[in-house]
Each structure stands twice: as C-alpha cells, then as structure tokens.
Copies of this chain bind each other. A is one copy, B any other.
Amino acid sequence: MPRTPAENERIRQATKEQILKAAMELFFSKGYHATSIDDVAKTAKISKGLLYHYFKGKEDLIAALVDLRLQDLLFVMEAAAAKPTPAEQIRHIAEGALEDVRRKPEVFRFYLNLFTQPRLDPVVAKYSQRLMDEQEKQFEVQTEMFTKLGVANPRKRSIYFSSTLQGIMLMFSTYPNTFPLDEVKAQVIEEFCSP
C-alpha cells in the first residue's frame, strides 16, 4: 500500500528542511561557490539525486535561503510597524537588527556578503538584487516612521540611521568577540529614537 499523501508531505518537508539546513551550514561557513552539491548532500546525509528531486539545482538552494531571509526581514519590519509610537517602532528596528546579528553574526555576514556580490556575477547577482530591493522597500517604511517622529529631514535621517545600523552590524559580525554591542546599541537608540 502506498504512503498516504499526508505522510509523503511530511517526509518531503522534513527532507527539504534537512537539505536547507545543510546548505545553510555550508554556505555560511564556506560560501556559495566553495560549497559543492556533493558537500550539501553528504552533510544532509542524502544522495545527490534526492537533492535534485527537491531542488532544481544549486541556485535553487540559495534562492530558498534568500526567501527565508526575506521573510525574517519582513517579520521584524511588521513587528516594528505594529508598535504604537514611531519612537518605539524605530527602536524595534534597531533592536531587532542588532539582536539578530548578535545571535548569528555569521548569518548576517553571509547575507551581507551576498548583498555585496559584484553586479555581474552570473548566478548570485539576482539574489543580491532581491535583498537590495527588499531593503529599499523597508527603507521607505522606515522613512515614514521618521516623518511621524517629527524630525527635520526624515529622509536624510532615515538614511543616516540605516547606514549607522548597517555599519554596526558589519563591524560586529567582523569582530564579534571584541565589539561592545550593548554600549553602541544604547547610543544608537538614544540618538535616533527621540525627536
């Protein structure tokens, strides 16, 4: 008797997750190009063939990871938007971003690396672009928050805020052991979360 569709679906999801987990682990530590499909399959303890049963190819793996990342970013943004005051909203963005990088600096590092990929890389560029597009969308929302906060030049303020935040995350993910994240975080919040 064949497995039930539900059972199959369960197996599918479990295996896909297993594969994505392996891909993450390897991409994060060795990078996309230095990771081979064979590596991923071995790490996920499945055959290469099965990997191709679930993903169209190596590129599909990074596409899936980028999708997950975009969901995460969106999630933080939505949680921020749900806050009652603009000050709290901006504070949530800052804290969300900084706590995220604190927990998994190498993950941030990986996506930043993807983000800074040369624009003509034949495979990776399009995922870099997706991340940039999302960031741009979120930037608009964030500018609106600064407007409501009542600062003088909200667009410029928003840019400066994003730059500072990105810079901190970049620095922290580079020197996770020595960077004084708490202090810096406090200063950011002090500086940007009051009108």
State the A residues within 8 Å of B (CB).
2, 27-31, 33-34, 47, 106, 109-110, 112-113, 115-124, 132, 135-136, 156, 159-160, 162-168, 170-171, 173-175, 179-180, 183-184, 187
> Lowest 6 CB-CB distances: which A-B pairs, in order?
A167-B167, A163-B167, A113-B116, A33-B33, A31-B118, A166-B167
Q: Is the CB of B120 within 8 A of A29?
A: yes
Chain B residues near A159 (CB-CB < 8 A)? 171, 179-180, 184
User: Dominant SS at the A interface?
Assistant: helix
User: What number of copies of this chain does the assembly contain?
Assistant: 4
Instruction: Note all chain B residues with C-beta closer than 8 A to A47.
Output: 2
- B174 adjacent to A115 (CB under 8 Å): yes
Cβ-neighbour of A116 out of B120, B135, B164, B170 (below 8 A)? B170
Chain B residues, Cβ within 8 Å of A180: 156, 159
A163 touches B164 (CB 8 A): yes
Q: Are A116 and B116 in touch, CB under 8 angstroms? A: yes
**How far, in angstroms, from A165 to B118 measured CA to CA in the complex?**
21
Q: A30-B120, A34-B122, A166-B171 are in contact. List 4 more A-B contacts (CB 8 A).
A: A113-B117, A159-B171, A163-B167, A164-B167
Q: Is the CB of B132 within 8 A of A160?
A: no
With A118-B30, A164-B163 given, is the CB distance from A156 to B132 under 8 Å? Answer: no
